Amino acid sequence: MPDTELYDDIIFLYDIGSESSVDPEILGRIAAKLQLSTISDIKRESLALHQMAVASGVPEQSIEKMSMLLKKIKEYVQTYNPKMGSPLNPDPLSSDGKCKTPVIPDDFRCPISLELMRDPVIMATGQTYKRVCIEKWLDAGHDTCPKTQQKLPSTSLTPNYALRSLIAQWCEFNGVDLPRRPSKLSKPTSACSLPERDNINALICKLSSLNVDDQRSAAGEMRLLAKRNVDNRICIAEAGAIPLLVNLLSTTDPHTQEHAVTALLNLSIYEDNKGNIISSGAVPAIIHVLRTGSMEARENAAATLFSLSVVDENKITIGLSGAIPALVSLLNEGSLRGKKDASTALFNLCIYQGNKGRAVRAGVVPTLMKLLTDPPGLMVDEALAILAILSSHHECKVVIGVLQAVPVLVKVIRNGSPRNKENAAAVLLHLCTGEQQQQHLVEAQERRVMGALLELASNGTDRGKIKAMQLLDRMTRFLEQQTQAQTQVQARLKQINPGQHCRMHDRLIPTPILCSLTLSMIGCRKMATHPS
C-alpha cells in the first residue's frame, strides 16, 4: 500500500548532504519498512542497486545519493539491534576498526535543540542550554526557563566550563568532531541546463504578472518543477521565485494559492531553501493558507510547516507566529491526510519545550483524546506520540486528568501495538508524577494495570520496558504507603472503639490488596471531610 511517511522519509534522506546528521527514528522507520534490518540485507540491496545502475544508466549523482542513503541505514543497523533498541556495543569502534555513530548522552544535548552542545551556558534556574538557542529564546521576549517554566530572576548566562570539558573528552574518546560554529560555506550551484534556466526565468516573469491566469499557470509549473529534482529546487530559488510565491499565498484565487504553497513545500525539501523561505516572511502567509485555504492547500501548508520546522531555530519562529492553533483546527476537522500532516507538524514543533504550553492552550489535548477513542482508530499512533511528548508539561497533565484519560491509557497498555503501549505508559508515568498523582495511581490500580505493566516490562520495546518498570516501582511504593496508612488508621480506631475496629479489621483483611487499597482510600477521604 502507498506509504506517505516512508516516501517523505526517503525523499528527506535523499536530499540532505552526506555529512548531515539524521534523527535515528527516521532511519529506524526506513530500515523497518524496507526490511533492511541486517548487514546482509543491506549488502544485497547495495548489490542490486549497482546492478540496476549498470543496466539502466542511472545518473552517477543519483547513485551516489542512494549509496549515501544505504550507508546511513548501515551505520544505524550497526549501532542498533534489529528491534531498534539500545546500542548493541558501546565500543565506538566496529570490528573492522571504523568508527560507528555513538549515542550522545542526554546531559550533553541542549534541551531546546536536542543537539550536542558546543558552548553550554547556565541560566539563573541552574539549567544548561546551548548558547545560541537560549539567546534566541531570550531575544524573543521570554522571561521564563524553557525547561522548568520558572520565572527568571536574571537573564545572565554563565559558561558551563565543566560540562564543556566533559563534552570535549567524550568527543575525543568517541572520535566525534566537537560541534563548531556554523560557517558560511559556498552554496552548491544548480546543474540545470541553459534552456531549463530560460524556462524558469520565463515562469518568474509570469509569477510577477498581474494576470491571474499567468500567475496560476506559472505557479502550477513551478510546483511540478520543484517536485522533480534538487537541481530544479536550487535553480528556482536562485532565480528569485521564493518571494514571488510567498506573495501569491494571499491571493483570492484558490488554485493559485494551492499551487504556490505546494511549490514552497517542494522547494523546502532542499535544506538551504528553508532559510530563504523563512527570511522571505513566508510563515504568516503559510498560516493564512492553513486557516483559510482549500483542504488540499491546508494540508500542504501543514506539511510545509513541518518541513521548515526540521531546522530547530524555526520551531521557535513558527510557534511564535500562531501556527499551532491553526494546526490543531486542521487536526480536529481535516481529512485523514490533513490530520496526519497536522499531527506530524505538531509533533515536530512540540519537541521544543516552549511550544508545548501553546499546544495545550490551543486545545490539542481534547482533540488528541477524541482521536484515541474514535472507532476507526486511524490516528491512534499519531495521537499517542504527541501526548507522550506533551505530557511532561504541567498544563498538559492537568488537562489530561480532567479528561479522565487513565482508562483509555490502560486499555492501550493492555491491547495496543508495541509503540503505542510504550507511549501510553510514558503518558501514564507523567500523570503519576504530577499534582494529582494519587488519584491517577488509584484509578490505574482499579483498572488492573499491574498485569499489563508486567507484560510490557517483559516483552515491550526497550523504552516501553523502562517506562513500565518505573510505573511498577511507583505503584509498589504507593501501595506500601497506603498499607502503612491503613495500619495507622486501624490502630487509631482500635484506641477509639475496639469493637468497631474488630469489625472493620475483619472486613478489610481477607479482601485482596487492591480492594483493600480502594476501601482504605475511601475511608480516609471520608474521615478527612467529616472528622466527627
Q: DSSP secondary structure string, 389-417?
A: HHTTSHHHHHHHHHTT-HHHHHHHHHHS-
32, 84 Cβ separation under 8 angstroms: yes
- Percentage, residues of the chain above pLDDT 90: 36
What is the C-alpha separation between 13 and 66, in angstroms, rounded?
9
Distance, CA of 134 to chain centre: 20
**466 has a pLDDT exceeding 70:** yes
In sequence order, the 6+-apart residues with CB closer than 8 A to the CB of 173 are: 92
Q: CA of 2: how far to CAs of 5, 8, 30, 34, in Å?
A: 9, 11, 14, 13
| Structure-model confidence comparison of residues 401 and 256, the more confident one | 256
CA distance 330 to 287: 11
Average pLDDT over residues 261-289: 93
Asked if residue 79 has pLDDT above 60, the reply is: yes
- List pLDDT tens digits, range 412-458: 999 999 989 999 999 999 888 867 788 888 888 888 888 899 999 99
Segment of 7-16, 142-151, 207-216 carrying the highest mean pLDDT: 207-216
**pLDDT score of 246:** 95
**Rounded distance, CA 75 to CA 13, Å?**
14
* Cell numbers linked to 364: 490539542
**How far does CA 176 lie from the centroid of its chain?**
25
pLDDT top residue among 143 and 234: 234
Over 80: is that where the pLDDT of 504 sits?
Answer: no
- Predicted pLDDT of residue 427: 92
- Please state which of the ranges 93-107, 282-296, 336-350, 503-517 shows the lowest mean pLDDT: 503-517
pLDDT at residue 256 in the model: 96
Q: Read off the pLDDT band of 51 (50, 70, 90).
A: low
Output the pLDDT for position 97: 46
Confidence check: pLDDT of 264 > 80? yes
Q: How confident is the model at residue 121 (pLDDT cuts 50, 70, 90)?
A: confident
pLDDT over threshold 70, residue 124? yes
pLDDT band (50, 70, 90) for residue 59: low
Q: How confident is the model at residue 57 (pLDDT cuts 50, 70, 90)?
A: low
Q: What is the pLDDT of residue 371?
A: 93
**To which H or E segment does residue 452 belong?**
helix 449-459
Backbone φ, ψ for residue 122 (5° rounding):
-105, 135
**What's the CA gap between 358 and 221, in Å, rounded?**
37
Q: What is the largest CA-CA distance in the chain?
A: 101
Q: Which residue has the cell 500562531?
A: 322
Q: Residue 266: pLDDT band by 50, 70, 90 thresholds?
A: very high
pLDDT computed for residue 423 by the predictor: 92
Q: Mean pLDDT, the chain, as a whole number? A: 80
Specify the pLDDT at position 292: 94
Reported as a pLDDT band with limits 50, 70 and 90, residue 260 is very high
pLDDT surpassing 70 at residue 94: no
Confidence band of 56 (pLDDT split at 50, 70, 90): low
pLDDT tier, 47 (very low <50, low <70, confident <90, very high otherwise): low
Per-residue pLDDT at 330 = 96
Per-residue confidence at 179, pLDDT binned at 50, 70, 90? low
Angle between helices 312-320 and 353-361 (to 10 degrees): 30
pLDDT at 242: 95
Least confident range from 56-70, 121-135, 210-224, 336-350: namely 56-70
- Least confident stretch, 52-56, 94-98, 211-215, 263-267: 94-98
324 vs 271: which has the higher pLDDT: 324
The residue with greater pLDDT, 360 or 50, is 360
Mean pLDDT value across residues 298-324? 92
Task: Give percent of the chain above pLDDT 70.
Answer: 79
Greatest mean pLDDT among 284-298, 445-459, 487-501 lies in 284-298
Is the per-residue pLDDT at 101 higher than 80?
A: no
Residues whose CB is less than 8 angstroms from the CB of residue 79 and which lie 6 or more positions away in sequence, other chains included: 87, 88, 100, 101, 102, 103
Residue 206: CA count within 13 A, CB half-sphere: 19
Question: What are 457's three cell numbers?
Answer: 516490562
pLDDT in tens, 327-375: 999 999 999 999 999 999 999 899 888 899 999 999 999 999 999 988 8
Q: How many separate helices (H) and strands (E) can be counted in the chain?
A: 28, 3
Order across the sheet with 158-159: list the strands. 128-130, 120-122, 158-159
CA distance 524 to 58: 75
Mean pLDDT for 469-486 is 84
SS (H, E, C) 195-254: HHHHHHHHHHHHHCCCCHHHHHHHHHHHHHHHHHCHHHHHHHHHCCHHHHHHHHCCCCCH
Grid cell in block for residue 303: 506539511
The predicted structure's pLDDT at residue 347 = 92
What does the alpha-carbon distance between residue 273 and residue 308 come to, in Å, rounded to a whole number?
Answer: 9
- What's the grid cell of residue 114? 536536542
Within 13 Å of residue 159, how many CA atoms lie on the same side as its CB? 6
pLDDT attached to residue 169: 63
Q: Which residue has the higher pLDDT, 385 or 480?
A: 385
What is the model's pLDDT at position 530? 43
pLDDT at 80: 66
